[in-house]
């Protein structure tokens, strides 16, 4: 079974205007050992360029590198895998594009979706939003720690909790059954993203 680092750091500049590669370097410097590249507004060429810049940084640090939504981009840059949303390609189709040995994770928002993703062969399921989040347009209502507990009881694969998680709440989320906590805003909007990573890891390590 896949072993995930406790912190699932997402590279998304949001409203900071920080270059993705510089942001990735800061997160890695803080100790992040899994990065997901998420650039929702980017055209394919921009996403490819960012992925090409970040993958060698991640691998040099011994970190896993995943691409959000796009198995074709993940394959093109030899990323470690892809993270799929509910409206993206099915797990089996993503695996055909990526080839053997790559990671495929799936975003889920309730127990039924988590079970379906696990049954389809996802290496991990992301569950959320746990708390209110400002990192996504039109976010779903917060599900709370109850969702983490319910999904933990329902699926055997690793669980990544996401949505409004901070350094202060991350230990609670892990205690509820999450194998990893995914964070965007609390890291990328911090004055010092590397220090923000260190603070999270100190609490959940």
Question: Which regions of the chain does DSSP assign to beta strands (E)?
Answer: 7-11, 34-37, 64-68, 81-84, 103-108, 124-127, 159-162, 180-183
**Which of the following is catalytic: 18, 115, 136, 198?**
136
Residue 40 appears among annotated catalytic residues: no
Angle at 54 (CA atoms; ends 123, 158), nearest 5 degrees: 15
**Cα separation values, 106 from 136, 153, 193, Å:** 17, 17, 26
Residue 136 appears among annotated catalytic residues: yes
Residue 44 appears among annotated catalytic residues: no
Beta strands at 64-68 and 34-37: parallel, antiparallel or unpaired: parallel
Of 5, 67, 68, 54, the residue nearest 33 (C-alpha): 5
Contact in structure between 76 and 99 (CB atoms under 8 Å): no
Q: What is the largest CA-CA distance in the chain?
A: 41
**Which of the following is catalytic: 33, 55, 102, 107?**
107
**Which of the following is catalytic: 33, 38, 70, 143?**
38
Q: Which residues are the active-site residues?
A: 38, 107, 136
């Amino acid at each position: 079974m896949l072993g995930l680092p406790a912190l699932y750091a997402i590279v998304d500049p949001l409203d900071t205007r920080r270059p993705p590669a510089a942001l990735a370097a800061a997160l890695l410097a803080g100790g992040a050992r899994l990065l997901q590249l998420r650039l929702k507004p980017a055209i394919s060429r921009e996403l490819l360029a960012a992925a090409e810049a970040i993958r060698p940084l991640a691998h040099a640090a011994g970190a896993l590198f995943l691409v959000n939504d796009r198995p074709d981009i993940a394959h093109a840059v030899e990323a470690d895998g892809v993270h799929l949303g509910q409206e993206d390609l099915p797990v089996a189709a993503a695996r055909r594009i990526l080839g053997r040995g790559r990671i495929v994770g799936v975003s889920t928002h309730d127990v039924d979706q988590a079970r379906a993703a696990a049954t389809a062969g996802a290496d991990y399921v992301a569950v959320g939003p746990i708390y209110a989040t400002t990192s996504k347009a039109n976010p779903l209502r917060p599900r709370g720690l109850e969702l983490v507990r319910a999904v933990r009881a329902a699926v055997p694969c690793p669980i990544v909790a996401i949505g409004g998680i901070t350094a202060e709440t991350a230990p609670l989320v892990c205690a509820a059954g999450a194998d990893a906590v995914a964070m965007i805003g609390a890291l990328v909007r911090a004055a010092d993203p590397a220090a923000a990573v260190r603070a999270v890891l100190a609490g959940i390590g």
